[in-house]
Chains A and B, each alone.
Chain A
Amino acid sequence: MAVRRLTTPWSEEVVESLRAGGQVLISGVIYGARDAAHKRMVETLERGEALPVDLHGQVIYYVGPTPARPGEVIGSAGPTTSGRMDAYSPTLLAHGLKGMIGKGYRSAEVLQALRRHRAVYLTATGGAGALLARRIRRADVLAYPDLGPEALFRFEVEEFPAIVVNDAHGGDLYAEGRKAYRRVVLA
């Protein structure tokens, strides 16, 4: 399987070319945000105010890292469960977000929003926090510092490994992969 190298931000053309099951290495800037930062971003948009970052073409990584040791950029930094962000993601996709990186299932509403707004959902290996942290070259708190580990982060990444699970065309690696290897039928 060929591995695609992609630099952020992503154009619509890049997103359209990605297919479920594809492996990618992401370089450039991505944003770190989990539950509390998502809630705040959506509340900001609902008030008609501008976000701390223009989301057009951008990618968000769902992560809650361990504290960085002195002299290090970041601690352990694997993906967290994406489903907790489902309530907020359609709004962010409507505001230009093109990619989300996490782990686990997304809701039907998110999958529908991916097709409508031409965006993709990717996953990184859950639990591989030591390995993935090495691909983060720089980490800064961009906004919401009062949220501590749940603040909005700006990361500079180099060849961050991810897999496309849900593409803009309705492709779903979780469904296709399971079907290919399934031997047991549940009652």
Chain B
Amino acid sequence: MRVIPYADVVAAVRRLCLEAAIRLPADVWEALRAARQREQSPLGRRVLDEILENDELAAREAVPMCQDTGTAVVFAELGEDARVEGGLSQAIDEGVRQGYRDAYLRKSIVADPLRRRNTGDNTPAVVHVELVPGDRLRLTLLPKGGGAENMSRATMLAPAQGEAGVRAFVLQTVETAGPNACPPLIVGVGIGGTFDSVGLLAKRALLRPVGERHPDPYYAAMEEDLLEAINGLGLGPMGYGGTVTALDVHIEAAPCHIASLPVAVNLQCHAARVARTEV
């Protein structure tokens, strides 16, 4: 059994908070540059120019690209032959506390959903732990802003509604979100599982690099079809009208009950921040 020191996890999470806030992953950069090339609306191109300039400035000067530095959503893959001294959740929260403080990120978490007192340090993080073979700890931080998260939706379809029902729900969700979710978007779609697990599937879909298709050709084709349909909605960058509404669509599917067809759409704005490390 490998014992991972508490301080190593804290330091890793702290660093991920800073990195994610100021620097987009390479795949998102490339997708935004490609979008600038193919956008047909002049106003849409102006928006994409501003976004690219903003993101370059943020990385160069180490300032957050967006003022909404988000909920710290952490995906932890913990090796079955490892444990974190002092507790994994505690170490992640301490890393978030230090990262959001030291990088001057906005603290956006309230302790209670109705009484709304800010915790002041952006904790607690939302942590998803998966046990995997080995003795390593892989950490992925997805800082999720409120604008796009608020426009995300889940539903329980009837199995008879099938692929057409899923398609209609995804398009309707993107259409309703419009400019509020800060397009161009990455659209995470979860299909199957249960009511509680389908939202997590949709969020996990956001972790896949832009441009990478689902390994199953059936879902890969559905992703491409949905991407084309979403871009046909005409919303465009920031919803001013245009041909690039989404950079990509990622579907994750899971087995489900014979009576059920759960679907969730987790929208991700163009500030698609993800940072990874291994401890």
Tell me the A residues contacting B by CB distance below 8 Å.
1, 21, 23, 63-69, 75-78, 80-81, 83, 103-105, 123, 125-134, 148-149, 161, 163, 165, 173-174, 176-184, 186-187
Contact = CB atoms under 8 A, between A and B. Distances in A.
A173 B147 contact: no
Interface in B110-126: 118
A65 B50 CA distance: 18
B216 interface: no
Contacts of B240: 21, 163, 165, 173-174, 177
Nearest to A125: B50
B37 interface: no
B180 A83 contact: yes
A127 B269 contact: yes
A129 B69 CA distance: 10
B90 interface: no
A165 B106 CA distance: 28
A125 B241 contact: no
Contact of A126 (B150, B182, B234, B243): B182
B95 to A, nearest CB: 18
Given A104-B179, A184-B171, A178 B235 contact: yes
A52 to B, nearest CB: 23
B168 A127 contact: no
Contacts of A173: 240-241
B42 interface: yes
Interface of B: 40-43, 46-47, 50-51, 53-55, 57-58, 61, 63-69, 104-106, 118, 145-147, 150, 168, 171-172, 175, 178-180, 182, 229, 232-236, 238-243, 269-271
A177 B41 contact: yes
Contacts of A176: 241
B54 A128 contact: yes
Given A130-B57, A130-B61, A186-B172, A104 B180 contact: yes
Contact of B66 (A69, A127, A165): A127
Nearest to B230: A184
B65 A127 contact: yes
Contacts of A68: 104
A178 B233 contact: yes
B67 A63 contact: yes
Contact of A81 (B53, B64, B147, B242): B147
A129 B65 contact: yes
B106 A123 contact: no
B181 to A, nearest CB: 8
Given A76-B106, A130-B65, 14 more contacts: A63-B67, A65-B106, A81-B180, A103-B147, A105-B178, A126-B238, A127-B182, A129-B54, A129-B58, A163-B240, A178-B241, A179-B241, A180-B241, A182-B232
B58 A80 contact: no
A15 B193 CA distance: 53
B64 A66 contact: yes
Contact of B104 (A67, A103, A180): A67
